[in-house]
A and B are shown apart, each in its own frame.
Chain A
Amino acid sequence: MSDQISFSCPVPLSGYDKITLAHGGGGSFSYKLLHELIFKYLNSEPLAMEHDGAVMDINGVKLAFSTDSYVIDPVFFPGGNIGELAVYGTVNDIACCGAKPLFLSLSLIIEEGLPVEQLETIIASVKKAADRAGVVVVTGDTKVVGHGKGDKIFINTSGIGVVHANANISPRRAEPGDAVLLSGTIADHGIAIMASRSGLEFQTSILSDSAPLNDMIEHVLKAIPDVHVLRDPTRGGLASTLNEIARSSNTGMYIDENLIPVKEEVKGVCEILGLDPLYIANEGKLVVIVPGNAAGKALDILLSHPLGRQAAIIGTVTSDHPGMVRMKTSIGTNRIVDMISGEQLPRIC
């Protein structure tokens, strides 16, 4: 047997020469695409901040500006549809700049053949969501592409808002000694989508957590002007968001697995599929990083808001292991929570 042993492995496959789905997964491939390709050409100051949106000073008024595209499959999912997602996603990105979102643009790319009735349901959702979030759709565009050239409907929204007085929110502002708070259970959105996606249909009562965070953020900012970081952990999940903040601020994050709220049913689906909820998308959750002495106050504010009933202090910012996230596991040992490579794939056995 040992005679046959060859200590070998395949030749390295250097960088991909074509875009793969992994480049859109929100993990390390996305990170590299941004840093090695896009930022090579586009390097404005606001872009370099790597925030959820840009903050710009125009004649003494600080504006936040953000854009996002929505390509979700399925378009209708448990707990919502692409219309409200497109509103809340951009609203939340603006709010996470410490701003009050005001105006949105709405751009539709519709695939030939989409039933008009479905489009109407989606647009009605856009309206309802905009009303709930207190924003107005003020401009838009509609394009139709041939059958097979799109996936039912893609939506882009951009939005602007005015930064709250005294707010200075940036992923670079996380400092050792800060507390890391989370507004509620993770992975609800991603699991709701997965459970309804073709090829993986199973019955659950898990709904997407899609919701506007601007009201909750406003409450936090009013009570604690010195909030350092606000982030909604969407694609790539809580783990990717914390890694991004750790890298931007060159600090370490230390979180406690036992303190991170996850619904029992979500845990169950994750166990069956071999997925880690830390890497699964959310659409209505908020990470708040505040100075350590403001942690209790921030928690009280989150808990008193309807969207923050299950909020928790989940960890601290540290000067140890800068750029990395470490976690105390449920059994008391320690491990790294790395940025994911590509997309999480269900295990084989």
Chain B
Amino acid sequence: MKFVDEYRDAGLVNSIASEIKKITTRQWNIMEICGGQTHSIVRYGLDELLPREITLIHGPGCPVCVTPLELIDRAIVIASLPGIIMTSYGDMLRVPGSSSDLLRVKASGGDVRMVYSPLDVLQIAEHNPGKQVVFFAVGFETTAPANAMIVTEARRRNLTNVSVLSAHVLVPPAIEAILSARDASVNAFLAAGHVCTVMGYTEYEPLAEKYNVPIVVTGFEPADILQGILMAVKELESGSHRVLNQYARAVTREGNLPAQRLIREVYQVVDRKWRGIGTIPSSGLDLNDNYAEFDAAKRFRVDTILASESEKCLAGKVLQGLIKPSSCPAFGTECSPDHPLGAPMVSSEGACAAYYRFRKSESHV
């Protein structure tokens, strides 16, 4: 397929891999932020092609995985109310809350629907004037502008039966949280190409400067990821720490300005709890006061939910890149995609699910 096969060319991939081997002289830990990149790395076994000195650490960039338990429980409670149509994107429906998930609400008679586009939500609302349609909005900066259109369009079309439960999260505060942690061991980052398509990469420049880490905006295909790693290693080996753009075919330094305007118009930056990690200051997006009438958290008063997580699984460590999924004692035994203990085992972008699907034989057969 044109514009995809070029980046999956075995010759190109192997030549970049040998270039990386040639220039690597020391141990480097490189974190790919995005779950989509983790998926590609594990699916294509890209880490097998790297020299031993380079360790890839899988970052927290799986929006489904980091959505806090309290918010999932809240979505489940709202979805169980009479007269509600709960909508969200695929994987979000399967993520376990404290005692249920949205698919179970559906199996018990709730109206839970998977949508493919924010505009589907508006269509459902228009077709069901007697119902309240709630969209459980997850994702990083990539999906925030399109999801913002739900409320701007709902206002324009005078739809009063639409609301949004926002679980949006932001990448730069997560990078800062990882770098400022006591046991920080990441030497360089591959930033998420799609996030930067919207946001550009100016906000990464102060981070690279402050923590002396190169950050390479990177795409998702095998050749993209290896080239991103090559650019990061070149920076590290030469003692430099610039922000570079590997994904120039999609990303500009300034990003998509109209999309950014839409984000500013609809959302406000809030502190957000990340599942398995903790609260990261200024790392989330909620609807702002101007759009408060569309905020499902305000429209449907749900008693404060205090959800406590068991200590069974080590998703928190996985999400911070402190351990590999296969090092978790529950991996492949108590925890599998059929019976996930944690969200990273649910989403196709979750590191645990990627390891389970593509390489479980190496740890558990």
Contact = CB atoms under 8 A, between A and B. Distances in A.
Given A1-B278, A10-B342, A331 B222 contact: yes
Contacts of A1: 177, 180-181, 278, 280
B302 to A, nearest CB: 18
B44 A333 contact: yes
Interface in B97-127: 97-101, 103-104, 106-108, 114-116, 120
Interface string A330-349: 11111110100110011111
A345 B181 CA distance: 34
Interface stretch (B51-59, B139-147, B154-162, B200-208): B139-147
Contacts of B180: 1
B303 interface: no
Interface residues of B, number: 88
A330 B14 CA distance: 12
A29 B14 CA distance: 38
B56 to A, nearest CB: 14
A187 B120 CA distance: 25
A271 interface: yes
A347 B337 contact: no
A331 B96 CA distance: 35
A14 B339 contact: yes
B183 to A, nearest CB: 7
A336 B361 CA distance: 8
A23 B108 CA distance: 15
B107 A16 contact: yes
A330 B8 contact: yes
Nearest to A23: B107
B154 to A, nearest CB: 18
Interface of B: 1, 4, 8-10, 13-14, 36, 42-46, 48-49, 63-64, 69, 89-94, 96-101, 103-104, 106-108, 114-116, 120, 138-140, 142-143, 177, 180-183, 194, 222, 275-280, 307, 309-317, 320, 334-343, 347-349, 356-361, 365
20 contacts: A5-B277, A7-B276, A9-B312, A10-B69, A10-B342, A11-B98, A12-B334, A18-B108, A21-B103, A199-B115, A264-B1, A321-B361, A331-B8, A331-B14, A335-B45, A336-B358, A342-B94, A342-B338, A345-B90, A348-B143
Given A4-B277, A330-B44, 18 more contacts: A4-B278, A4-B279, A5-B278, A6-B276, A7-B314, A9-B316, A11-B98, A12-B341, A13-B340, A21-B103, A329-B44, A330-B8, A331-B9, A332-B10, A333-B44, A333-B46, A348-B89, A348-B143
- Nearest 5 A/B pairs, CB to CB: A345-B90, A4-B278, A333-B45, A9-B342, A341-B337
